[in-house]
A and B are shown apart, each in its own frame.
Chain A
């Protein structure tokens, strides 16, 4: 039970990162390496505001998320937008950003992990069916479910959501119909940045500390989740994230450490060979 919930918690974390990545990739065809940066900004924003401004946990997380979103929007408007339609260059810019950004954080806050302020209730445990489960798992799962529902409602019920969905489907057609897709680009970057920043703050709670390189290591698994789930599909990402989180937890526990990661990659290989478009992709 503990394993299952921890796996779900990890999956929730992956989902928060992967949902934004998937949307950005689906709409703008940009493989966003800077996503780890948004995550780190969220984590450090939360840490900084609670350590230096004396904010409580929830306002601190809000501060971190706002900082992450602002970073994402700025990055999109200043750096990604001028390179519209030159996807390789856009990917390269995000690679450069991820290098420079992480180095900048390292310069500002030092390379060592910083202890993350955890609220009282998140350090406690709850008994579920006889197993003792740390509360932060529920926090992660809850946050992921809220984000999943929010994104789905946004995509299905609002006009902007409609444009984003149509853009993922066929961008050229949407442009031809006279709709400005670029606003939608900024929007998905904002959503992705917010989700990633939230993931950063929660990862801080989950791991108990923040370090500049954290985003990059989580990002790799988020990429795997996006590919397994099918690019551009939020639901696919959710399913894949849960799958990856569970597989990783169970195999790491029952086999040696490192086997968990290896089995995730095996899963990726199997999915890609069977359905190159990912779980939610149109089967080839």
Chain B
């Protein structure tokens, strides 16, 4: 999981302080992610069949779509981790920004007949201005109150989308993307591979931005805010501004993710505005491990994968043979995920990312 996993004798838990990395560590830090991206990038050329894991061969549209959605959610989970894991801001309104990206571009091209570049530019603007405004208000308060304010603003967004003002959002049915609105190489079942690469590109961008910000000065201040905000203020650093920065960066990246999600699923659904959608991010991040390099992404992939595949499991023969008492709960993906989540909180508070560290610790 962690890139330092194979190096004996290095500190693995707490690499907050910048310390001179050995050449080998540095090589691993750069090399492993690059290798992972390379492997993921060539997946659409693979015809390997994994019958139990994927709906078809790896390069079939169904499998690629599933993998691409997993990747988008990995990226989105990483943006949520920037807030929750890195800065300690418990937001319940992250879904708002994903929806913002999706609906802004969708409405711009489908309803307002804007060209795609203009729509994307608009989404970038909206994705910077709205979080800055809402964050400026919400961050006036801390902790649980902040969580509540974000929850409430997101709820307003959700209700707005549901109520379909001016027939723009399509209400409860959602808004399908107009067929000719996006370039041909991004639409159609045959071009799923391109969408997959788009999703992969998004993840790489998110990872790069997060890795860069976290290593920089603001990233260290965020870490300090998470540990002890009062101390940061006492040291004379404006913690409000740093928290706002974290909020805007995370929300902006989530907006971009919303745009990718729009292309991938070919429309915006009001489901991505609900508070349950935000809770899903929280679950992903905690499953994977907060504040770690790979945890959130791992959690995002796992959650999305299980969410999609457990529905298939619920109707499979193995489950159908079980008595009714067992079968009914197992056919609900959220039940399985919820229980898994509780178990994780109890027995593996560091998430999947801490598993490697733990195993090594106990074997010594």
Contact = CB atoms under 8 A, between A and B. Distances in A.
Interface of A: 25, 31, 33, 79, 82-83, 88-89, 91-93, 95-104, 106-108, 216, 220, 223-224, 226-227, 231, 256-258, 261-262, 264-265, 268-269, 272-273, 276
A262 B148 CA distance: 14
Q: 10 nearest interchain CB pairs?
A: A100-B338, A99-B338, A103-B335, A103-B334, A258-B163, A96-B341, A103-B332, A107-B328, A96-B342, A227-B148
Contacts of A93: 342, 345-346
B145 interface: yes
A165 to B, nearest CB: 20
Interface of B: 90, 137, 140-141, 144-145, 147-149, 151-153, 155-156, 159-160, 162-163, 165, 275-276, 279, 282-283, 286, 328-329, 331-335, 337-339, 341-342, 345-346, 349
Given A31-B147, A107-B328, A224-B152, A97 B275 contact: no
Contacts of A25: 144
A262 B141 contact: no
B155 A261 contact: yes
A256 B329 contact: no
Given A93-B342, A261-B156, A224 B148 contact: yes
Among A79, A95, A99, A224, residue most surrounded by chain B Cβ atoms (within 10 Å): A99
Contact of B159 (A83, A216, A258, A273): A258
The prevalent SS among residues of A at the interface is helix
Contacts of A92: 282, 286, 341, 345
Contacts of B333: 103
24 contacts: A79-B342, A93-B342, A96-B339, A96-B345, A99-B276, A99-B283, A99-B337, A100-B341, A100-B342, A101-B338, A103-B335, A103-B338, A107-B331, A108-B328, A220-B151, A224-B152, A227-B149, A231-B144, A256-B165, A261-B155, A265-B153, A268-B148, A269-B149, A272-B145
Contacts of A104: 329, 332, 335
Contact of A95 (B140, B141, B160, B341): B341
B279 A95 contact: yes
A108 B345 CA distance: 26
B331 A269 contact: no
A121 to B, nearest CB: 33
B312 to A, nearest CB: 16
Contacts of A273: 137, 140
Contacts of B349: 89
Contacts of B335: 99-100, 103-104, 107
Contacts of B286: 92
A256 B345 CA distance: 43
Contacts of B137: 269, 273
Contacts of A226: 148
Contacts of B156: 261-262, 265
